[in-house]
Amino acid sequence: MRFVFMGTPDFSVPTLKTLAKRHEVVLVVTQPDRPRDRGQRVKPSPVKAVAKKLQIPVVQPERVSDPEFIAKLAAYDVDAIIVVAFGQKIPEEILQMGKYGCINVHASLLPKYRGAAPIQWAILKGETTTGVTVMQMDTGWDTGDILMQREIVLSPEETGGTLHDRLAALGATALIEALAGLAKGDLTPRPQNDQLATVAPKLTKERGRIQWDRPADEIERLVRAMNPWPLAYCTHRDLRLRVWRAGVDATSHRAQPGAVLRIDPQKGIAVACGYAMVWLEEVQPQARRRMGAQDYVNGYGITIGEVLGNG
């Protein structure tokens, strides 16, 4: 089968690689080169870098709704357009191209977590399972008919980064299964139940702010969900302190939320929450490297009774 592939970030890469091994990818569409990483150097998207290695032609329209781009895309004789985390709204003219239209891989079990950050919101909300959905795209945001879903169980230590990688790999295999089912006529698209829909809005750095009056388990989930970006954070002596790892301790207390209750060389720094407490296990001071909690204690002199600020 012949496809156009549309995608941009790392999440899209496993699907592009897998698709190119089993089918003909005649064109890759990705976002224009942008300033990336800490140095803000202009760099290609991860999908563009892989497409170049695979020797697949690449185009990078500023707007896929541009009539000139739409006309160019229509000239390709493909079975479908595969869309994985592309980053732009797909216009109706493109949705109708190809034998099977546009097929999307989304990192949740739709209709749960429609939107830009389904991976992190699944952790934030305490889900024990999540998965991927292969769907037939329509004009809405993640509202199209479901072709196939695959489910996985979240581990208690799951982070935004580990779940991202697992779902990216799962999405690639699910898409190949779905394409085979479409070719055989074995798949029947089924509509989503909009009454069960939830949303997963785009993350901002502000979303990582720790509020110490929240329950400990909620703060611990925040730390895991925001790892590796945008990272959960609080303040210590008016400087930002990012938190990479934390653990829950159900011990009750009457301390002010944010107060340092214990310091343990093995467990880390115990901080009072609105309910129970969390152990800060790995942190990163402002403009410094990440480090174990004990190294932070040694280097920054945090003491029992100090109060950490909300981010």
What token pair was written down for 189? 């698209």
State the architecture of 2-196 in CATH terms.
Answer: 3-Layer(aba) Sandwich (3.40)
List the pLDDT tens digit at each of the 311 positions of the chain.
Answer: 999 999 999 999 999 999 999 999 999 999 999 887 666 788 999 999 999 999 999 999 999 999 999 999 999 999 999 999 999 999 999 999 999 999 999 999 999 999 999 999 999 999 999 999 999 999 999 999 999 999 999 999 999 999 999 999 999 999 999 999 999 999 999 999 999 999 999 999 999 999 999 999 999 999 999 999 999 999 999 999 999 999 999 999 999 999 999 999 999 999 999 999 999 999 999 999 999 999 999 999 999 999 999 97
- Half-sphere exposure of residue 183: CA atoms within 13 angstroms, side-chain side: 11
Token pair 């970006």 is found at: 229
d(CA 112, CA 128): 13
Phi, psi values for residue 116, rounded to 5° = -85, -20
Write down the domain spans for the chain. Answer: 2-196, 205-300
Helix (H) or strand (E) holding 3: strand 2-7
Task: Compute CA distances 125 → 24, 147, 199, 244, 267, whole Å.
Answer: 39, 25, 11, 19, 25
d(CA 270, CA 104): 44
Q: Write down the pTM of the prediction.
A: 0.96
Output the CATH code of domain 205-300: 3.10.25.10
d(CA 78, CA 91): 17
> Could you check whether 2-196 and 205-300 share the same CATH topology?
no
Residue 42 buriedness (CB in 10 A; 0-12 / 13-18 / 19+): exposed
* Identity of residue 252: S
